[in-house]
Structures are given as C-alpha cells and as structure tokens.
Amino acid sequence: MTEDAKKLAVSSESQPPKPQAPPPSKAKKKAKQEESLFDIIKTVVSVVAIVLVVRTFVFEPFNIPSGSMKPTLLVGDFVFVSKFSYGISKFSFPWIRPPFSGRILGSLPTRGDVVVFKLPRDTSVDYIKRIVGLPGDRIQMIDGVLNINGEPVKLQQVEDGVDPDYHGHASVHQFIETLPNGVQHPIFKHDGVNPLDNTAVFTVPEGKVFAMGDNRDNSLDSRVPPQEDGVGFVPVENLVGRAEVRWFSFDDQKPWYYGPFGVRWSRLFTGVH
C-alpha cells in the first residue's frame, strides 16, 4: 500500500461516524397528522361551498319524471337549469327558504322558455313546463290551437311521433308550434277531442305567467285550476330557473340493468328549446 493510501485509510478511520437524525417525536407526528386532517377538512369545506354556490346561483340538475313535456323532454331525461335566468327568489335556495318575497334582480321569462317552477298549490313540488303567456296576455285554446291575444299561433304538421305511454297508442300527431316572438318548438296532439282543446279566455294577472306542457293532451298545466289538481297561473316568484341542457337520458322503458344499452346517447348534452 502506498504512503498516500495509508494516510487516507488512517484519516477515514479516525473520522467519527455521522450522527443519525433523531426519530420524530410523538408531538411532531401528532402535529403533522392534525395539519393533514385540517387540510382535508379545508378541501372538503371548499368543495361543499362551491357546490352550494353553484346549486344556488348557477345550475341545478333536475330529472324528468312525467311525459307532459314530450316530445321536447322525455321521461328519464336529466336537465341542467340555469338558476340566475330570472333573478333570485326564496325558491332559488336549496334546503332553506330565506324570509323575503319577490325576486332580486328579477326579470320575466321569454315566451317559449322551458322553466322549472314550484307548484303554486304545493311549493314542495317541482314542475317543468313551457311559458306561453306573460302578464297581461289573453290565452285561450280553440279547437286544440293555442290563441294568444286573440291570434292563433302557427302550426305546421310534421312526421308523426311515438308516445308509448298514451293508453297503448304508439302513434301521435306532431306539430311545430311558432309563438308570436318567433320561438319554435314541437308539440304532441292525439286523435279525438280533449276537454282542454277548448277553454275560456285566461287573462294572465300581473306578477304571474301561463305555463303549458308540449304534450298538449296529457298535461295538467295552467289550463287546469289548482282546485282541480292543476297548476293555474304561476307566480313569477315561483320560478326556479330555465332548462338549458339535457346532460343525460335513460330510456325508462328499459330496466336499470341494461346499463349503457338504455342510455339515449343522441340526447346527451343537447340544448332544450
């Protein structure tokens, strides 16, 4: 061994071993655990707060439980409703009812809007219909045709649709209805005379709107008074928001275990008009 190697070996042997870091104390471990738990709680609280704000003021999901809005909305459709469309009322808040009336930053819907609202005779129930009448409007059905302020709306018959829920009748007449402001949307009409095909004139009071289902012969709406289990006029305060997008749809005629085979893929993320 060379002299330099001997010196290097002696030098390395003479150096004391590096001290080991002491194990973390129990107090430090506990502090780290508490800090980690606090971070998790902060994250959860932040997410809940964001979800609450979104549900309250921006969008809320609703599902369609009945066929009164066919063919626009089918049973099994899920829609997002924009809650700030007409301002804020006490019905804009989920789970609570703030003690104020009317609407903050409120505005009227447009004829043809599809809206979710609280049923006037039972505000625990949500309904979804199309607004066809605004305050001061005169609404009447004559021979199955909607009349607004004395003028019949334009109807254009298109290819028949399918309504498997209507007393076993699969085929149903389908029309494109054009409202006075130019809004167009499809409606269903069945054969035969329906009691709601001819009505008296409804003059919409101030602060209220007139709502109807697109499935005209199978909809309890503003044509039917509350005392007959209908809707009657809808207070503007009761409006929850405007339906904007179908984000999911599942065929209610198929059992749940059909999974993806029951999904109506063509309806996913499509606008509500």
User: What are the extents of the domains in the chain?
Assistant: 53-244
Distance in angstroms between the alpha carbons of the first and the last residue of the chain: 93
Question: Taking 50 as the threshold, does the pLDDT of residue 139 lie above it?
Answer: yes
Q: Is 266 a catalytic residue?
A: no
104 near 59, Cβ under 8 Å? no
Instruction: Read off the pLDDT of residues 186-221 as tens digits, 9 standing for 90 and up.
Output: 999 988 888 999 999 999 999 999 999 999 999 999
As a whole number of angstroms, the distance between CA 217 and CA 188 comes to 8
Instruction: Read off the pLDDT of residues 27-74 as tens digits, 9 standing for 90 and up.
Output: 666 666 666 766 677 666 655 555 455 555 578 999 999 999 999 999
Instruction: Read off the pLDDT of residues 148-183 as tens digits, 9 standing for 90 and up.
Output: 999 999 999 999 987 766 655 568 999 999 999 999
The domain 53-244: what is its CATH number? 2.10.109.10
Q: Is 68 a catalytic residue?
A: yes
Q: Which listed residue (70, 83, 129, 208) is catalytic?
A: 129
Query: Average pLDDT of 67-86?
Result: 94
Classify each residue of 102-125 as buried b or exposed e, where b means 16 or more C-beta atoms within 10 Å of its C-beta.
Answer: ebeeeebbebbbbbbbbbbeeeee
Q: How many CB atoms lie within 10 A of CB 76?
A: 19
